[in-house]
């Protein structure tokens, strides 16, 4: 009951932040081009900046990979309130079952959302599992990021997590889709995705500074 109440309060707070934050979107047509061709894809953003996306992508027809930790239980409930599907698992717990669920989600017409450096880090280092997922599912990765002008940086968190505050500005920046073909080297593609996400993050930070 306490967890359900906590999820409702968190959902209400994120809603308040979203309604009072001035939004600008850069290259949102990257996502629309994929959709116009009927392609499913994998959203990929840094773990540090994920909260705002639960508001921006409400009811967006996506399934989010969430760890099986205690914190993951709360996050899953918030996502359900946000009309987003959840898939429970990570590289360390429930990975094989999660891949099967993601395949089923894609086949049912959903996109996938992951944090390629989560849930435990190292921060802003792409794990090859994200690339293996794209390669196995045969769908591209859509990198994106956001930057908030008003936030609390949780310095004790492994990724210096960004907790959004209301009445600010947010810049959401999309990149171009990254294809992971059957013969591609996953380590090289992981380095490519990291470079893109870092560049997008720098761009977003500059827009709200």
Would you report the helix, strand and coil content of the chain in percent, each value rounded to 5?
45, 20, 35
Q: What are the structure tokens assigned to 17, written together?
A: 């932040």
Dist. CA 87–CA 65, nearest whole Å:
5
How many independent structural domains does the chain possess? 1
Torsion on CA atoms 23, 26, 30, 33, rounded to nearest 10: 70
Residue 90: its pLDDT value, please? Answer: 58
Give the model's pLDDT for residue 95.
Answer: 54
Name the nearest CA neighbour of 165 among 154, 176, 157, 177: 154
Per-residue pLDDT at 92: 46
Look up the CATH number of the domain holding residue 58.
Answer: 3.40.1130.10
Residue 1: predicted pLDDT: 67
d(CA 22, CA 169) in angstroms, rounded, equals 5
Supply the pLDDT for residue 129. 84
Which residue range(s) make up the domain with 15?
2-208
Residue 102: predicted pLDDT: 86
List per-block mean pLDDT (blocks of 10 residues) for the chain, which spans 209 residues: 85 96 96 94 96 92 84 85 85 62 90 90 92 92 98 96 97 97 96 98 97
Note if the pTM is more than 0.85: yes
């Amino acid at each position: 009951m306490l967890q359900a109440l906590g999820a409702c309060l968190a959902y209400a707070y994120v809603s308040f932040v979203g309604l009072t934050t001035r939004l600008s979107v850069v290259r949102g047509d990257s996502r629309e081009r994929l959709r116009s061709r009927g392609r499913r894809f994998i959203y990929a953003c840094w773990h540090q900046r994920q909260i705002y996306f639960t508001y921006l992508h409400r009811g967006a027809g996506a399934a989010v990979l969430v760890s099986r930790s205690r914190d993951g239980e709360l996050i899953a409930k918030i996502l359900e309130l946000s009309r987003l599907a959840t898939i429970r698992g990570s590289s360390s717990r429930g990975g094989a079952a999660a891949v099967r669920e993601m395949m089923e989600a894609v086949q049912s017409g959903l996109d996938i959302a992951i944090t390629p450096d989560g849930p435990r880090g190292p921060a802003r280092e792409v794990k090859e599992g994200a690339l293996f997922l794209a390669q196995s599912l045969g769908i591209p990765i859509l990198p994106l990021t956001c930057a908030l002008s008003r936030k609390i940086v949780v310095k004790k968190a492994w990724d210096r997590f960004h907790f959004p505050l209301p009445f600010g500005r947010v810049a959401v920046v999309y990149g171009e889709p990254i294809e992971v073909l059957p013969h591609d080297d996953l380590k090289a593609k992981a380095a490519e995705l990291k470079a893109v996400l870092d560049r997008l993050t720098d761009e977003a930070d500059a827009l709200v500074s």
